Homo-oligomer: A and B are copies of this chain.
Amino acid sequence: MPTSLVTHTLARLAERFELQLLGDGEQVIDCVGTLADGSPTAIAFLANRSYKSQLIDTRAGAVILAEADAADCPVNALVAADPYLAYARIATLFDPRPVPQAGVHPSAQVHESARLADTVAVGPCAVIGANASVAAGCIIGPGCVVSEDAVLDEACRLVANVTLGHGVVLGKRVIVHPGAVIGADGFGIARGPDGWEKVPQLGSVRIGDDCEIGANSCIDRGAIGDTVLEEDVRIDNLVQIGHNCHIGAHTAMAAFAGVSGSTRVGRNCLFAGRSGAHGHITIADGVTVAAATMVQKDIMEPGTVWASGIPARPIREWHRALGHLRKLGRQHKRNG
The answer, among B148, B252, B297, for a CB contact under 8 Å with A196, is: B252
Known contacts being A1-B167, A2-B167, A34-B225, is A320 close to B329, with CB within 8 Å? yes
Q: Are A199 and B88 in contact (CB under 8 A)?
A: yes
Q: Is A308 an interface residue (CB 8 A)?
A: yes
Closest partner residue, chain B, to A221 (CB atom)? B97
Per the bound structure, the CA–CA distance linking A237 and B240 in Å amounts to 7
Whether the Cβ atoms of A237 and B187 lie closer than 8 Å is yes
Selected interface stretch from A21-29, A69-77, A139-147: A139-147
Whether B255 contacts A1 by the Cβ 8 Å rule is no
Contacts of A166 in B (CB 8 A): 2, 96-98
Q: Which residues of B contact A129 (CB under 8 A)?
A: 98, 142
Is the CB of A185 closer than 8 A to any CB of chain B? yes
Kindly report how many copies of this chain are found in the complex they form together: 3
Please, what's the 1-or-0 string for A251-268, where 1 marks a CB less than 8 Å from any CB in chain B?
010111010100000000
Task: Give A144 Cβ to nearest chain B Cβ, in Å.
Answer: 8
Q: How far is the CA of A142 from the CA of B33 in the complex (A)?
A: 37
A160: chain B residues at CB < 8 Å are 145, 147, 163
CB contacts under 8 Å to B, within A98-130, are 98, 105, 107, 109, 123-125, 127, 129-130
Interchain CB contact under 8 A, A143 and B127: yes
Per-position binary interface string of chain A over residues 303-336, scored 1 when its CB falls under 8 Å from any chain B CB and 0 otherwise: 0111111111111111111111110111011001
Q: Which residues on B sit within 8 Å (CB–CB) of A234?
A: 187, 189, 196
User: Given the complex of chains A and B, what is the CA–CA distance between A34 and B187 in angstroms?
Assistant: 17
B311–A290 CB distance below 8 A: no
Is A82 positioned at the interface, with any CB of B under 8 Å from its CB?
Answer: yes
Q: How many residues of A contact B (CB 8 A)?
A: 135
A320 touches B328 (CB 8 A): yes
| Per-position binary interface string of chain A over residues 3-36, scored 1 when its CB falls under 8 Å from any chain B CB and 0 otherwise | 0000000000000000000000000000111100
In the bound assembly, the distance between CA atoms of A127 and B85 in angstroms comes to: 36
Interface residues in A159-189 (C-beta closer than 8 Å to B) = 159-161, 163, 165-167, 175, 177-179, 181, 184-185, 187-189
Partner among B159, B163, B242 whose Cβ is within 8 Å of the Cβ of A184:
B159
Q: Given A109-B124, A310-B308, is A332 in contact with B315 using a C-beta cutoff of 8 Å? A: no
Query: Given A197-B85, A202-B96, A312 and B306 touching (CB < 8 A)?
Result: yes
Which residue of chain B is the closest to A297 with respect to CB atoms? B311
* Interchain CB contact under 8 A, A89 and B197: yes
Q: Is the CB of B149 within 8 A of A197?
A: no
Residues of B within 8 A of A328 (CB): 320-321, 324-325
| A249 and B195 contact, CB distance less than 8 A | yes
Q: Are B297 and A294 in contact (CB under 8 A)?
A: no
Tell me the bound Cα distance from A216 to B200 in angstroms.
20
- By beta carbon, the residue of chain B nearest A188 is B88
Contact digits for A186-222, partner B, Cβ 8 Å, 1 yes 0 no: 0111111001111110100000001010111010100
The list of the 8 closest CB pairs from A to B, nearest first, reads: A321-B329, A109-B124, A163-B178, A184-B215, A306-B312, A320-B332, A317-B329, A296-B311
Give 11 new A-B contacts, CB below 8 A, not counting A181-B237, A307-B315.
Answer: A109-B142, A141-B145, A143-B145, A145-B161, A175-B185, A184-B237, A195-B210, A195-B249, A240-B256, A306-B318, A310-B325
